[in-house]
């Protein structure tokens, strides 16, 4: 045990450490803070996430492998860590004003932070055991965050549903893991990859993959495992929903890339057809079920279900281009969905409800909010010159590159994006065409303005000048595939 | 807010000055980019204006669209027709090498003619919107943004760029019709947008197929490279319908045209002008530029069948126009009919047919712009568009009635006006292609004559409806707008040669690629 500890180079955990240190400071400050003084927990969390992000981007942690590969640092892990920290920083920044009046903001910020640490560990997991432990860290802290608004019934309901469905998916996932272990004789991803090789694979491993797919399906809210998403999106505290909708979904795709493309490429005959079906079902259900919604959060929930279907196309392709398309899209999706949820956060807080009708005349009441929300919706629909278009084009391209057999998937995806455009336009219609129902401007606040401008910049830059991000994602995806 | 407003305006002007200054200093003019950037810059400035300066909006819009129009005329004059013709004013810059995307612009004779059309229509459209009061800044900003997109499509030599500009040209329509339209505007706006973007989804699939099947490494969206690629016949036959129908929706191809009458009738005046006048031409332009030129074998295989549909376009459009009670719907359906002539011309794949098609694109663009402007001006006075309510308006508004007559005569193909030149060439091509189709299509013109003369007679001649005893005639801005448009119809009707040789220099290139001719 002693030797085991000595061999560890703890600097590998520098970025997680920065965030953890911030969380510790936050706890301590909240303990000694005199009653009545506002909690600075939001600022501390923001500082921690920005510092960790800057450290990770400017001085990247070099490649490393700990404990026989149970924890690794590679380009993929670094990319996703930066993504999670960016999501955390933007969500925190945008929700200062929302959180001001909440008694539970300290706990909430802590839970978001812990969940982010969990995600950062998750993308570095190189072993089924460490993967599972960090996945639980992510999930449990998000369950708590979803149900923290103790005075609101919807939040309680959201938290409970999230917990129950999440526990079920976890059970499936770990059940699948045990099958894979039984079939391959190891929990290490490298050993599993070697055991599977290129052949048909052990029947137990095949069964394990199918079960794990179901578990992952819950994580990314893919059909038919999507039922929880609309309820949780509707009831949970908005900052948590905003964060989870981008970061938690990205984490789910990170596991998919590691497990399916990186480890179980030999079993692609099993998971590619399943994922194809899942992708089409997810895009279809997400697009059509959003149409009758009158609640903006439920609409965005179904929209994000549909988005997951598009991202699955890249996983189905399974090529370096496909993986890099997934990475690119997830970053674009971060800016896009955060812009949408920040707008929802502010408008809902002001209007007191989440009805789409409350957005009537938003263009006149707050031009910035309306613009940010419209750009976000258009980017989700895949309209140039926004990042969502380049992302979708890249995803479609990756599928068509593999073989013309995937052409139908692209045709379905492209057609359904017009269906989704319909309900996005319905929201834009409320904001720009309808007259305001109530007079008066909607104040945005400086912090949320900065967050919104960051998101707009992110959407526009990835749409007009995607070169840097594209090259980065290609460099990240290259080594993952085909070894 | 004032500080933000002035900062943004200052930045835009500085960027514009820097851009033009750079070109002057290095003596490397980017003509096409310049034309494209002008409306965009105007739109940005208008958006940044403070509310108290909103009344300056239309002047700013005119100040940016007038030079755009003049530059388009300059382009058409400077385009060298002698020699090879081909693509001129080329600009090329690397953009996203990882995906094979470049910023690549150039126009041939066809593109130049479309630039000229767009320039004329946007300036006339700005004048025709002089009376817009409701949310005027947003109106002009969207109108100018859309125009930049249109210019971009006509000049793009890279499919990614093409698609990007296409969406920029189409999407602002949703808000323009939804906010400033009349009648069932929200329904029409949604229908139009969904139809057109469904078309763009098909296009996108086709573009990606062209991209991957070109077989060059590295992969590229560059259209010149694709022109040199011989796609396999099976591939061409599979993907030609994707591209043809994707663009065909925008060109009003029957039976995918139903967005067009609703959309054009609901849209505000300038938007109808731009949409029927220019945007529908994007569809026909795309068919020539992408579908036919890049997939010639597919074109030869499919176009004879599609030609039959265009006959329905021509006759059905004219028949439905005849039975309309709303003046604007008459014009809207006449566009369906006239665009059928354009697509028929393309379907013949003959020298005369293609020349006629492009000439008709230009001629119909101007003509329908004139019509929609006239309908808008009349509606602004009478507040009705129902034909039965009018009567003898010519007695009170002789100027508007005269312009309406000019437009009507061009529409029914009277020799001496540009519509005749175009339709004659298309029918000539159609005759060589299939005499039966040519006869049916030409018969459709009879219906056109019927509804045009009926409208003229019911609305403008005959006894004056006493209800309109004290309406006024066109004001100066309106007369300027109408004069520009009517002058184009008469000029290119009397003396079509410069425009024909301009267009022909482009058609020669298309035919060289496609084969056929005659």
Note the pLDDT of residue A344.
93
Within 13 Å, how many C-alpha atoms sit on residue A87's CB side?
35
Phi and psi angles of residue A348, each rounded to the nearest 5 degrees, phi first: -60, -40
For chain A, the residue count is 483
Note if the pTM is more than 0.80: yes
Q: Which two tokens stand for residue A280?
A: 């089409």
**Span A227-279, pLDDT tens digits:** 889 988 988 888 899 999 999 999 999 999 999 888 888 888 888 889 999 99
Collect all residues with Cβ–Cβ distance below 8 Å to A323 and sequence separation of at least 6.
A257, A261, A314, A315, A473, A476, A477, A480, A481
**Span A38-47, pLDDT tens digits:** 778 889 999 9
Mean pLDDT of A445-452: 91
Collect all residues with Cβ–Cβ distance below 8 Å to A350 and sequence separation of at least 6.
A442, A443
Q: How far is B313 from chain A (nearest CA, A)?
A: 25
SS3 category, B218: coil
Is the interface score ipTM higher than 0.85? yes
Q: How far is B212 from chain A (nearest CA, A)?
A: 6
Q: How far is B282 from chain A (nearest CA, A)?
A: 17
Note the pLDDT of residue A40.
84
Residue A2's pLDDT band, with cuts at 50, 70 and 90, is very low
Place of tokens 């194809």: A276
Note the pLDDT of residue B518.
42
Element at B92 (helix H, strand E): strand B88-96
Q: Which two tokens stand for residue A440?
A: 């008066």
Q: Residue B96: its chain A contacts at CB < 8 A?
A: 465-467, 470
Instruction: Give CA–CA dist A444/A347, Å, rounded.
Output: 9
What radius of gyration do chain B's Cα atoms show?
22
Sign of CA dihedral A395, A398, A401, A402: negative
**Residue A1: is its pLDDT beyond 90?**
no
Helices and strands of chain B, counted as H and E runs:
23, 2
Instruction: Give CA–CA dist B213/B90, Å, rounded.
Output: 26
**Residue A150: is its pLDDT beyond 80?**
no
B9, B45 contact by CB (below 8 A): yes
Q: Please judge whether B96 and A466 are an interchain contact, meaning their C-beta atoms are less than 8 angstroms apart.
A: yes
Beta bridge partners of B104: B92
**Residue A199: is its pLDDT beyond 80?**
no
SS3 category, B257: coil
The two beta strands, B101-107 and B88-96, are antiparallel
Q: Please judge whether A397 and B208 are an interchain contact, meaning their C-beta atoms are less than 8 angstroms apart.
A: yes
Query: How many CB atoms are located within 10 Å of the residue A209 CB?
Result: 24
Instruction: Give CA–CA dist A428/A379, Å, rounded.
Output: 13
Instruction: Give CA–CA dist B481/B15, Å, rounded.
Output: 30
Residue A482's pLDDT band, with cuts at 50, 70 and 90, is low
A382, A388 contact by CB (below 8 A): yes
Query: How many CB atoms are located within 10 Å of the residue A449 CB?
Result: 18
For chain B, the residue count is 518
Note the pLDDT of residue B1.
67
Higher-confidence position of A340 and B442: A340
Q: Please judge whether B211 and A471 are an interchain contact, meaning their C-beta atoms are less than 8 angstroms apart.
A: no
**Residue A6: is its pLDDT beyond 80?**
no
Beta bridge partners of B105: B91, B156
Phi and psi angles of residue B77, each rounded to the nearest 5 degrees, phi first: -75, -35
Residue A52's pLDDT band, with cuts at 50, 70 and 90, is very high
Place of tokens 């323009």: B176
Q: Which two tokens stand for residue B460?
A: 């403008």
Q: Please judge whether A400 and B175 are an interchain contact, meaning their C-beta atoms are less than 8 angstroms apart.
A: no
Instruction: Give CA–CA dist B455/B143, Å, rounded.
Output: 29
Note the pLDDT of residue A183.
86
**B136 to A470, B56, B131, B374: CA distances (angstroms):** 39, 10, 9, 21
**Span A154-173, pLDDT tens digits:** 888 888 888 998 899 899 99
Instruction: Give CA–CA dist A237/A241, Å, rounded.
Output: 6
A370, A363 contact by CB (below 8 A): yes
Instruction: Give CA–CA dist B97/B41, Å, rounded.
Output: 27
**Residue A188: is its pLDDT beyond 80?**
yes
Q: Please judge whether A384 and B164 are an interchain contact, meaning their C-beta atoms are less than 8 angstroms apart.
A: yes
Note the pLDDT of residue A4.
52
Q: Which two tokens stand for residue A29?
A: 């400050």
SS3 category, B156: strand
Chain B interface mutation, best of A379, A429, A460, highest count of B Cβ atoms under 10 Å: A429
Among B323, B321, B355, smallest CA distance to B338 is for B321
Mean pLDDT value across chain A: 88
**B144 to A376, B33, B35, B41, B181: CA distances (angstroms):** 22, 15, 12, 9, 17
**Residue A3: is its pLDDT beyond 50?**
no
Of the candidates B164, B175, B201, the beta carbon closest to that of A415 is on: B201
**B168 to A104, B1, B158: CA distances (angstroms):** 45, 28, 15
Instruction: Give CA–CA dist A309/A282, Å, rounded.
Output: 5
Mean pLDDT of A68-73: 86
| Chain A residue with the nearest C-alpha to that of B162 | A384
Q: How far is A422 from chain B (nearest CA, A)?
A: 7
Among B35, B31, B64, B250, smallest CA distance to B141 is for B64
Q: Residue A396: its chain B contacts at CB < 8 A?
A: 204-205, 208
| Chain B residue with the nearest C-alpha to that of A472 | B98
Collect all residues with Cβ–Cβ distance below 8 Å to A60 and sequence separation of at least 6.
A78
Interface of B with A in 98-157 (CB under 8 A): 98-99, 138
Q: Residue B191: its chain A contacts at CB < 8 A?
A: none
Interface of B with A in 181-210 (CB under 8 A): 186, 190, 193-194, 197-198, 201-202, 204-205, 208-209
Higher-confidence position of B413 and A310: A310
Q: Does B171 touch chain A (CB under 8 A)?
A: yes
Helices and strands of chain A, counted as H and E runs:
22, 2
Residue A7's pLDDT band, with cuts at 50, 70 and 90, is low
Q: Residue B186: its chain A contacts at CB < 8 A?
A: 429, 433
Instruction: Give CA–CA dist B299/B225, Å, rounded.
Output: 19
Q: Does A384 touch chain B (CB under 8 A)?
A: yes
A3-17, A309-323, B5-19, B405-419: segment of lowest average pLDDT: A3-17
- pLDDT by residue, tens only, chain B of 518 residues: 678 888 888 899 999 899 889 888 888 888 899 899 999 999 999 888 887 888 888 898 999 999 999 999 999 998 888 766 788 898 888 888 888 899 999 999 999 999 999 999 999 999 988 888 888 888 899 999 999 999 999 999 999 999 999 999 988 999 999 888 888 888 999 999 999 999 998 998 899 889 888 878 788 899 888 888 888 999 999 999 999 999 999 998 888 888 888 888 888 888 898 888 899 999 999 999 999 999 999 999 999 899 999 999 899 988 998 888 888 898 889 889 999 999 999 999 988 999 999 999 999 999 999 999 998 988 888 888 888 888 888 888 888 889 989 988 888 888 888 888 888 899 999 988 888 888 888 888 888 888 888 888 888 888 888 888 788 888 888 999 999 999 998 998 889 889 999 999 999 888 888 875 44
Note the pLDDT of residue A301.
94
Beta bridge partners of B96: B101
**Span A81-107, pLDDT tens digits:** 999 999 999 999 998 888 877 878 888
Q: Which two tokens stand for residue B293?
A: 């030129």
Q: How far is A414 from chain B (nearest CA, A)?
A: 5
Collect all residues with Cβ–Cβ distance below 8 Å to B468 and sequence separation of at least 6.
B381, B382, B390, B391, B392, B393, B396
Helices A128-146, A249-256: crossing angle, 10 deg rounding: 170
């Amino acid at each position: 045990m002693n030797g085991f500890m000595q061999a560890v180079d703890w600097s590998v955990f520098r970025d997680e450490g920065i965030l953890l240190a911030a969380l510790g400071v936050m706890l301590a400050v909240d303990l000694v803070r005199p009653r009545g003084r506002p909690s600075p927990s939001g600022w501390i969390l923001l500082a921690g996430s920005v510092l960790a992000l800057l450290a990770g981007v400017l001085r990247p942690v070099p490649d490393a492998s700990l404990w026989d590969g149970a924890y690794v640092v590679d380009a993929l892990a670094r990319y996703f860590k930066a993504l999670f920290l960016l999501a955390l920083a933007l969500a925190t920044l945008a929700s200062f004003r929302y959180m001001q009046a909440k008694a539970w903001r300290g706990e909430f910020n802590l839970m978001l932070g812990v969940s982010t640490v969990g995600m950062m560990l998750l993308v570095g997991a190189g072993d089924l055991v460490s993967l599972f432990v960090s996945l639980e860290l992510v999930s449990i802290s998000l369950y708590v965050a979803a149900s923290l608004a103790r005075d609101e019934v919807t939040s309680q309901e959201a938290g409970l549903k999230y917990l129950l469905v999440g526990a079920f998916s976890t059970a499936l996932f770990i059940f699948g893991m045990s099958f894979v272990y039984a079939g391959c004789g190891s929990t290490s991803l490298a050993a599993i990859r070697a055991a599977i090789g290129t052949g048909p694979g052990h029947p137990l491993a095949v069964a394990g993959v199918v079960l794990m797919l179901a578990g992952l399906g819950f994580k990314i809210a893919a059909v038919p495992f999507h039922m929880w998403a609309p309820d949780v999106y509707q009831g949970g505290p908005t900052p948590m929903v905003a964060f989870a909708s981008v970061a938690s979904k990205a984490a789910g795709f990170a596991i998919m890339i590691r497990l399916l493309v990186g480890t179980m490429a030999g079993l692609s005959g099993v998971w590619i057809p399943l994922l194809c079906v899942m992708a089409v079902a997810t895009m279809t259900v997400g697009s059509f079920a959003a149409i009758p919604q009158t609640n903006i959060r439920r609409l965005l929930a179904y929209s994000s279900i549909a988005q997951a279907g598009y991202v699955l196309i890249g996983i189905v392709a399974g090529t370096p281009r496909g993986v890099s398309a997934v990475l690119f899209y997830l970053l674009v999706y971060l800016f896009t969905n955060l812009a949408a949820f920040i707008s929802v956060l502010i408008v809902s807080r002001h209007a007191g409800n989440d009805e789409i009708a409350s957005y009537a005349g938003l263009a006149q009441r707050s031009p910035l909010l309306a613009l940010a929300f419209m750009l976000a919706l258009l980017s989700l629909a895949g309209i140039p010159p926004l990042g969502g278009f380049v992302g979708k084009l890249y995803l479609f391209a990756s599928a068509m590159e593999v073989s013309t057999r995937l052409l139908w998937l692209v045709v379905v995806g492209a057609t359904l994006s017009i269906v989704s455009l319909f309900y996005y336009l319905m929201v834009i219609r409320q904001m720009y065409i309808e007259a305001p129902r109530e007079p008066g401007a909607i104040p945005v606040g400086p912090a949320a303005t900065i967050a919104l401008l960051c998101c707009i910049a992110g959407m526009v830059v990835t749409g007009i000048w995607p070169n840097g991000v594209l090259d980065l994602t290609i460099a990240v995806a290259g080594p993952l595939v085909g070894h | 807010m004032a500080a933000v407003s002035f900062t943004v305006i200052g930045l835009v002007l500085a960027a514009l000055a820097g851009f033009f200054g750079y070109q002057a200093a290095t003596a490397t003019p980017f003509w096409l980019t310049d034309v494209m950037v002008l409306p965009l810059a105007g739109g940005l400035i208008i958006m940044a204006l403070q509310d108290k300066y909103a009344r300056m909006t239309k002047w700013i819009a005119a100040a940016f669209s007038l030079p755009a129009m003049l530059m388009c005329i300059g382009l058409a004059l400077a385009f060298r027709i002698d020699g090879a013709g081909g693509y001129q004013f080329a600009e090329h810059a690397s953009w996203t090498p990882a995906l094979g995307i470049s910023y690549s612009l150039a126009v041939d004779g066809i593109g130049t003619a479309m630039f000229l059309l767009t320039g004329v229509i946007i300036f006339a459209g700005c004048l025709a919107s002089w009376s817009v009061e409701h949310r005027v800044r947003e109106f002009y900003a969207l109108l100018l943004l859309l125009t930049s997109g249109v210019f971009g499509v006509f000049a793009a030599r890279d499919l990614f760029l093409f698609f990007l500009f296409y969406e920029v040209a189409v999407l602002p329509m949703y808000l323009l019709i939804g906010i400033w339209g009349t009648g069932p505007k929200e329904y029409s706006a949604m229908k139009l947008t969904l139809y057109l973007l469904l078309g763009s989804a098909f296009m996108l699939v086709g573009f990606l197929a062209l991209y991957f099947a070109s077989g060059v490494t590295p992969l590229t969206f560059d259209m010149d490279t694709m022109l040199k690629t011989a796609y396999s016949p099976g591939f061409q036959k599979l993907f030609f319908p994707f591209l043809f129908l994707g663009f065909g929706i925008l060109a009003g191809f029957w039976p995918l045209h139903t967005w067009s009458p609703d959309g054009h009738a609901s849209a505000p005046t300038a938007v109808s002008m731009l949409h029927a006048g220019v945007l529908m031409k994007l569809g026909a332009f795309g068919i020539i530029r992408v579908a036919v030129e890049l997939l010639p074998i597919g074109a030869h295989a499919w176009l004879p069948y599609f030609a039959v549909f265009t006959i329905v376009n021509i006759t059905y459009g004219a028949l439905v126009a005849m039975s309309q009670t709303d003046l604007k719907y008459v014009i809207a359906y006449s566009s369906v009919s006239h665009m059928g002539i354009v697509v028929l011309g393309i379907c013949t794949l003959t020298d005369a047919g293609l020349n006629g098609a492009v000439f008709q694109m230009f001629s119909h663009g101007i003509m329908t712009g004139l019509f929609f402007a006239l309908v808008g001006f009349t509606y602004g006075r009478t507040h009705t568009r129902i034909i039965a309510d009018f009567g003898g308006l010519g007695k009170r508004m002789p100027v508007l009635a005269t312009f309406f007559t000019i437009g009507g005569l061009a529409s029914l193909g009277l020799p001496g006006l540009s519509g005749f030149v175009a339709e004659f060439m298309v029918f000539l091509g159609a005759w060589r292609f299939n005499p039966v189709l040519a006869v049916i299509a030409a018969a459709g013109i009879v219906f056109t004559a019927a509804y045009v003369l009926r409208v003229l007679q019911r609305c403008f001649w005959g006894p004056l409806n006493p209800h309109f005893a004290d309406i006024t005639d066109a004001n100066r801005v309106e007369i300027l707008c109408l004069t520009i448009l009517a002058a184009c119809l008469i000029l290119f009707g009397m003396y079509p040669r410069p425009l024909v040789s301009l267009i022909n220099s482009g058609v020669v290139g298309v035919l060289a690629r496609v084969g056929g001719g005659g």
